[in-house]
Amino acid sequence: MSAFDVRDLLKVAGQPEVAAVAAGDMPHRPPAEATAPQSKPMISPVVLAGCVRAAEFVLIASLGLALHQAMLRGLVPLGMPYGAAILAVSALALALFQGAGTYRMAAFRAFFPAALKLSAGWALAFLLVAAGMVLAKVADNYSRLWLAAYFSGGLLLVLAGRFLLTQVVSAQVRMGRFDRRTAIVGGGPVAVDLIRALEAQGDTGIRIVGVFDDRNDDRSSDVVAGYPKLGTVSDLVAYARNARLDLIVFTLPISAEGRILQMLAKLWVLPIDIRLSAHATKLRLRPRSYSYIGSVPVLDVFDKPIADWDVVVKAAFDRVVGLALLVLLAPVMLAVALAVRLTSPGPVLFRQKRHGFNNELIEVFKFRSMYVDQCDLGAAKQVTRGDPRVTPVGRFIRKTSLDELPQLLNVIRGDLSLVGPRPHALQAKAANTLYDQVVDGYFARHRVKPGITGWAQVNGWRGETDTSEKLQRRVEHDLYYIENWSVLLDLQILLTTPFALFRTQNAY
């Protein structure tokens, strides 16, 4: 967070009406659009551009090697000269393509303007490599026929690849897969000016879904610059829980700090980028102080915690390591399953609905640790020391967390991460009060995908949360993890988890 402090928001979030909204307990009916089904996830232009760069580098280098094998095999060894030339052409071409702006979304959507830049870049790359060969007096060591074939074949390959890419991207654009679905907070002339400025630029990737404003109709009309007013900021929380939303832009003046803080106290629990428009403000900071939507300046308030390449890296880490752990621990899981099945009648697995990413409901798998007729699907009553509902085998697997191992299946399926805030049962309570009513900002835990283990668990905050202080500490650790996520932190937590399991004082 850059513009406001989370502690300020937590103070504001302590107000009953704000806490109720953040928890999803809406004081009034949400707009009809809020009940729309989730649209397909947005494709990140950053990830797409990176994939195109990597693919073109591999294609260009592979073509050079393939042509050498086809034309010069048995006549001229590959060796350092040809390897260096292939790497030089590939790297220079990509650098020139980058400098010409051919890795932007506009270039992926319009073939012919991009083709001219690609052709110029490819020709310049070969010209520079050829000049280097001449200056180094090694040009005679290379086959001119191979160079000509590499030049013409490479150009055709790059252009053919880009033509196919243009067709795919254009189809996805028509489906809205690259749109950043954006909500505008605040109506009036300032909102109209912002919307007009965004619409004047054709390549921002912004798709405005509507306007949300707490003010009455006298100060904020039902339609703002052609977009409907869908409700208040409280309604926006429900909308974001039920329909895909990628960005929220405030049009309120920076001077309205109190009002902005009240709104942010409701919205910061969402896994969405939040920006404050600087388009109409008289305050002028240095250009590097702003980020930009096209050429419209905005101030960053909140960023989605894990986005773009971080999403790809974490998902790959989860699948690869999760699958490896599933194979490695298969004998242990089989032994636990047999113990559960042979010592008490009923199914081996226990399925429970829990809150996942962005409060969506997921079904989490566990080894059954209670007698079938006493299983508590909603976890309305926490398990305590000596709880008669727990079977003898269940008591052991709960203390050692072996009952959680089936959640590796949830990781492979994509419901959970290996590391993240633990998903709590829907009716879980601390001091006889629902979790979200105990801790301000509780639902901010759901800005990332929940995990099998987490920062709170390896720091001793696992097991029973019978007091509000225990829950508060767990949530604090979860929020720390979200704000400081990295692959190294995930590795640290995974490696620490087995040792943390020896601390069983709160696990029953």
Helix (H) or strand (E) holding 448: none
What phi and psi values does residue 57 have, to the nearest 5 degrees? -65, -45
Contact 479, 268 (CB under 8 A): no
Residue 323, CA distances (Å) to 314, 327, 335, 412, 414 in order: 14, 6, 19, 7, 12
What pLDDT is attached to residue 348?
A: 92
What pLDDT is attached to residue 225?
A: 85
What pLDDT is attached to residue 31?
A: 44
What pLDDT is attached to residue 182?
A: 94
Contact 266, 18 (CB under 8 A): yes
What pLDDT is attached to residue 429?
A: 63
Number of C-beta neighbours around residue 189 at 10 A: 11
pLDDT digit of tens for each residue in the chain (508 aa)? 444 555 555 555 555 445 454 444 444 444 444 444 456 778 899 999 999 999 999 999 999 999 999 998 878 888 888 999 999 999 999 999 999 999 999 899 999 999 999 999 999 999 999 999 999 888 888 999 999 999 999 999 999 999 999 999 999 988 888 889 999 998 888 888 889 988 888 777 889 999 998 877 666 678 888 899 998 888 999 999 888 899 999 988 777 778 888 888 889 889 999 999 886 665 566 666 678 888 888 888 889 999 999 999 999 999 999 999 999 999 999 999 999 999 888 899 989 889 899 888 899 999 998 888 777 666 666 676 777 888 899 889 988 889 999 999 999 999 999 999 998 877 776 666 777 777 777 888 989 999 999 999 898 877 667 678 888 888 999 999 999 999 999 999 999 998 887 765 655 4
Strand pairing report for 349-355 and 296-302: unpaired
What pLDDT is attached to residue 286?
A: 63
Question: Which residues sit opposite 350 in a β-bridge?
Answer: 366
Prediction pTM value: 0.82
For 172-230, give the DSSP string.
HHHTTTT-EEEEEE--HHHHHHHHHHHHT-TTS-EEEEEEE-SS-TTTS-SEETTEEEE
What's the rounded Cα separation, in Å, for the pair 150 and 421? 52
Q: In order of start, what are the domains of the chain with their CATH numbers?
A: 6-42+179-302 (3.40.50.20), 45-174 (no CATH), 309-500 (no CATH)
What's the rounded Cα separation, in Å, for the pair 360 and 271? 12
Contact 335, 397 (CB under 8 A): no
What's the rounded Cα separation, in Å, for the pair 190 and 256? 14
Burial group, residue 219, by CB count within 10 angstroms (0-12, 13-18, 19+): exposed
